[in-house]
Structures are given as structure tokens and as C-alpha cells.
Amino acid sequence: MDLGGLDTNGREIKSAKEMWREEIGLDELDSNNTDNSKRHDWYSKGISYWQGIEASVDGVLGGYGHVNDADVKGSEAFLKTLLPARFGMERCHLVALDCGSGIGRVTKNLLLRHFNEVDLVEPVSHFLDAARETLVHDGDMDDGHKAVNFYCIPLQDFTPEAGRYDVIWVQWCIGQLTDDDFIAFFKRAKVGLKPNGFFVVKENTARNGFVLDKEDRSVTRSDPYFKELFRQCGLYLYSTKDQKGFPGELFPVKMYALVTSKPIGANSRKLKKQNYMPGVIKS
Ligand SMILES: C[S@@+](CC[C@H](N)C(=O)[O-])C[C@H]1O[C@@H](n2cnc3c(N)ncnc32)[C@H](O)[C@@H]1O
């Protein structure tokens, strides 16, 4: 990735390669040759940051708890177009995975309304304990929708159960992963999807290149940066939408629905149309 970026102290960084070389000792010539102690440092500083944060909506949203409603509305509108398109109109038994779930905010307000079972994966134990507490008490709603498994593990070490999920939801947490762990995670997580299953990635986006957060050890990637990583994961963009209604000082937020095989649609329609177009008769 050749795009330059910034860190939160305003320091310019020439390229993502340079950032990863500095942060985790990634050697440009050999992506397997990384300094494990630096990588360990990257993740332990990230986890320590979140361990110091209160287990509340305001805590996991960095003091912006009031964007919760707009966030849930935006996600719901996006999800409502995707579920019938991928699984048909008939209601079937749907299962979702909430990645980097924090206190279970997304599971409680969104996923449990659409999925019969939801699993959560989150590395910070006091967040997951809070999630378990709310969801198990709230849970077993009248409609039988419930949170089932609570995995306390970071995404870079997690592999989902094969073929369990219709949707794997990744929101506001993938910036904690380095590029190589991002790619390895999605490659592994594909096995967790059922046929027609898909990923949703909902994340902050940098206007250019990337922004490295020195406090929580995360990176905010730009839209082209995400798309290049998705390509390297072997994922295809099925649909994308911008989140609306957030305060202007926040990063723009995008939602991406990603599938594991090339979607037939716009391109094939275009080709078909061309077949029926009147041709110019050459003399
Ligand atoms: C901004 S909060 C978002 C929580 C939740 N997704 C939400 O939208 O309410 C970021 C979450 O990522 C989690 N996290 C940090 N490092 C992670 C990692 N390596 N793998 C998975 N999640 C991580 C944090 O503990 C925290 O719960």
C-alpha cells in the first residue's frame, strides 16, 4: 500500500509499509519476517487501552454514546436490504457473529432483532462479562432469539466454527488488527459462513491514506485501503453504504457487505444488454 498517512500526533508517515515496519517490525522484503515482540506490544497496548475503559455504551463509543441510535438505524436499513437479497423472503433460522463485540451493543440493539442466534467474540473480559450479563438477562426473548456463545479472544487468534454463520458482523474493531492479521482473519473466517452468508464491515474511514492512533494502537484506513485489503482477502464487494447523521467532527463511517464469490449482477446485466443493442451496419 503506497498511500501515506498521519499519526494522531500529526506526524506524517510516508507509506503504510513504513508504518508497519515501525510498529511491528514488518520487513518489506519478507512479510513473514516480523519482530514478534513488537507485534506483541502492538496488541497488548491495544488491549490495555480497552481494559481501562468503562463497560458502557459511552465507553465503547469513545464518549459518543449519543450516536448509538443513528448507528443502529443506519445498520438496520443496510441489513434489511441484504437479508432478503441473500436469503430470500421466507424467514429461516439465521445465525450471526458479532466481532469485537464490546459490551454487546450491536448484538442487543440490532443483531438479536434479525437473527435467532448470535455469538460474540471480544478480547476484553470485563466487556464480555457485561455483555453476558445484559444479554442473558434480556435474552430468551419471547421470539426465542438469543445470544449463545461468548468467546473471549482477539480476532487475530480466532477461527469461527465452520458453516455456522449467515452474517459475520465486524464493527469498529478491525482497525486494531495489522494488515497481515486482517487478511489472515478474513481468509480464516470465510469457513464460518454458510452458503450465501456474508460479512458486514462497518468502520471509520480516513479521508486519505490512514491515521495511526498511538493511544489505542489502531489504524483508521481510507476506503481505497479497505478495498485493497478486501481484494487481498479474496472478498467481493456486494454492497456499500455511507452512515448518515453522525456529528461532523467524527470520521466518515462506511458499511461494506462482502461475499466470497463474485456477485452476478451489474456486470452480467451490462453484458446482456450489449447483446441486444442494435449494431452499426458497416457497408
Ligand atoms: C470501539 S469498540 C466497539 C465495540 C462494538 N463493536 C460496538 O460497536 O459497540 C472496539 C472494540 O474492539 C475490541 N478490540 C480491541 N482489540 C481487539 C482485537 N485484537 N480483536 C477484536 N476486538 C478487539 C475492544 O475491546 C472493543 O470492545
pTM: 0.92
Is pLDDT above 70 for 276?
Answer: no
Is 279 within a domain?
no
CATH classification of the domain holding 144? 3.40.50.150
The interface pTM score, or ipTM, of the predicted complex is 0.99
| Number of compact structural domains in the chain | 1
pLDDT category at 275 given cuts 50, 70, 90 is: very low
Q: What is the pLDDT of residues 191-244, one digit of tens each?
A: 999 999 999 999 999 999 999 999 999 999 999 999 999 999 999 999 999 999
pLDDT band at 140 (very low <50, low <70, confident <90, very high): low
> If you ran DSSP here, which 8-state letter would residue 243 be given?
-
What is the per-residue pLDDT across 42-82, written as a single tens digit (0 to 9) for each? Answer: 999 999 999 999 999 999 999 999 999 999 999 999 999 99
Q: Kindly state the helix (H) or strand (E) to which residue 41 belongs, with its residue range.
A: helix 36-51
**Considering only CA atoms, which of 209, 70, 221, 91 is closest in space to residue 143?**
91
Asked whether residue 168 is assigned to any structural domain, the reply reads yes
Please list the helix, strand and coil fractions of the chain in percent, rounded to the nearest 5, in that order.
Answer: 40, 25, 35
How long a stretch of residues is the chain? 283
- Burial class of residue 34 (count of CB atoms within 10 Å of its CB; 0-12, 13-18, 19+): middle
In this structure, is residue 282 part of a structural domain? no
Tell me, yes or no, whether 281 lies in a domain: no
Mean pLDDT of the chain: 90
Residue 50 lies in a domain: yes
pLDDT level of residue 270 (50, 70, 90 thresholds): very low
Whether 92 is covered by a domain: the verdict is yes
Residues with CB under 6 A from ligand 1: 43, 46-47, 50, 60, 100-102, 105-106, 122-124, 127, 154-156, 171-173, 176-177
Q: With CA atoms as reference, report the closest residue to 123 among 73, 64, 185.
A: 185
The answer to whether position 149 is within a domain reads yes
Evaluate whether residue 215 is within a structural domain: yes
The answer to whether the annotation marks 207 as part of a ligand binding site is: no
Task: Spell out a b/e string for 90-109, using b for 16 or more CB atoms within 10 Å of the CB, else e.
Answer: eeeebbbbbbbbbbbbbbbb
The CA-based angle 128-79-146, given to 5 degrees, is: 40
User: Residue 117 is part of which domain span?
Assistant: 5-273
Sign of the Cα torsion 208, 221, 131, 186 reads positive
Confirm or deny that 171 is annotated as ligand binding. Answer: yes
Q: Tell whether 243 is in a known binding site.
A: no
